[in-house]
Amino acid sequence: MKRRVVVTGLGLVTPVGIGVEQTWEALCAGKSGAGEITHFDASAYSTRIAAEVKDFKPQDFIPKKDAKRVEPFIAFALAACRMAVEDSGLVIDSTNESRVGTITGCGLGGLSFMEDTVMKVAQKGPRRVSPFFIPMMIGNMVPGMISIHFGAKGPNSSLATACAAGTHAVGDSVRLIQDGTVDAMITGGSEAVISPTCIAGFGSMKALSTRNDEPQKASRPFDRDRDGFVVGEGSGILIIESLDHALERGARIYAEITGFGMSGDGYHMTSPPPDGSGAVRCMQAALADAGLDHSQIDYINAHGTSTELNDLYETRAIKTVFKEHAYSLAVSSTKSMTGHLLGGAGGIETVFTALAVHADTIPPTINYENQAEECDLDYVPNTVRKTRVQHAMTNSFGFGGTNATLILSKYSQ
């Protein structure tokens, strides 16, 4: 039998707060983290808004020397990891270091540093390139630095499955615990790519909102007037363990991870199929893995990007999977507040889903003002909802048609 897997520690660095408490309070209050871009001069861009992390000081979480040697996506993850480890009370030492591993997701890595270095080579020549260029840029340096800083010497890897990366990382970590390879995993996702080429690239695809005059209203998943997503940054890290391991050390349990599903669309580089069939197979796989009927799901933390096609096709997929129950369950997109963290989205949204289960609280979809023709589900518009959440699902769908779904359930013996 598969070992049961539970969530025992949480850490967050997000556009709406540093730490779990601050972020969760902001979500429940319907606070947006979007604003004018400050990371670079975006005045010439069609999109001049993003959801940036505010008031983050890496030296508060990692040594000053290391803070100067890591890109923000790594610093965000190390900070979130420190919070999660401290929250869990997990001690990693010589007695268990090989039984604790790390898998994280990251979509684009140190893109900003790459941009700066390319310009430096072009303007000043190759001798001006920093010896830290490669290690500061590559995505797998997140689990690498986590291993170095926290002593986890078990399985160590990084996933780059676009916007599904963080959720895939958690799912793969769950399976390592289930099969007995490890006892605990540090997992989640991180991203920090509010940079010129990122904004220009997504902008050229017409994927970003251009509601520059109202940045806090720009991300409006499922709303009739949505016009694209808002790029976000940050990190969400979880400590997950086998149930036996958590009980043996008396750990607090937020939720149990009961299901994981994956699928591929096999359809288009960037667009999901109109019938949402890839998402359908993914959600159905997670339900089967959890041994749950579709009618048992109380809440879906949707991918909900605020783009025209994603929100419509995800809604169609939910209706296909959940049938008449689709109109009874709650569906919300926290991207309406945090923006879209790309490869880091699954990390923070798995944390949000664990908190929803733990606190019996569903964060809202803010900026939902006008119903779209087919987007007619209960999107928890604008106001937090207190209600029992026994089983919750979180979806992440990425470019290339890569999909991931997790199911988290209230822990019971």
| Distance (Å, whole) CA 97 – CA 91 | 9
Catalytically annotated residue among 106, 163, 198, 282: 163
| Residue 245 annotated among the catalytic residues of the structure | no
Q: Which pairing describes strands 299-301 and 391-398: parallel, antiparallel, or unpaired?
A: parallel
Alpha helices in 126-164 (DSSP H): 133-137, 141-150
Q: Give the span between the Cα atoms of 410 and 254, in whole angstroms.
A: 8
- 149 catalytic residue (yes or no): no
Distance CA 229, CA 110 (A): 21
Residue 411 tokens, joined: 């822990």
DSSP per residue, 11-79: EEEETTEESHHHHHHHHHTT----EE--SS--TTSS--EEB---S--GGGTS-HHHHTTS-HHHHHHHH
Counted residue by residue, the chain has a size of: 413
What is the 8-class DSSP label of residue 391?
A: E
Which residues are within 8 A (CB) of 53 and not within 5 positions of it... i.e. 6 or more apart? 13, 14, 15, 18, 72, 76, 192, 233, 234
> Rounded distance, CA 20 to CA 32, Å?
16
Kindly state the DSSP code that residue 37 receives in the 8-state scheme.
Answer: -
Q: What's 298-363 look like in SS3?
A: CEEECCCCCCHHHHHHHHHHHHHHHHHHHHCCEEECCHHHHCECHHHHHHHHHHHHHHHHHHCEEC
| Amino acid sitting at position 20 | V
Residues 168, 245, 340, 358: which is the catalytic one? 340
What distance in Å separates the CA atoms of residue 6 and residue 246, rounded to the nearest whole number?
Answer: 8
Across the strands, what pairs with 256?
Answer: 6, 409
Q: Quote the CA–CA distance of 99 and 95 in Å, as a whole number.
A: 9
Catalytic option among 245, 303, 358, 391: 303
- Is there a catalytic annotation at residue 325? no
What φ, ψ does residue 86 adopt, rounded to 5°?
-65, -40
The residues annotated with a catalytic role in the active site are: 163, 303, 340
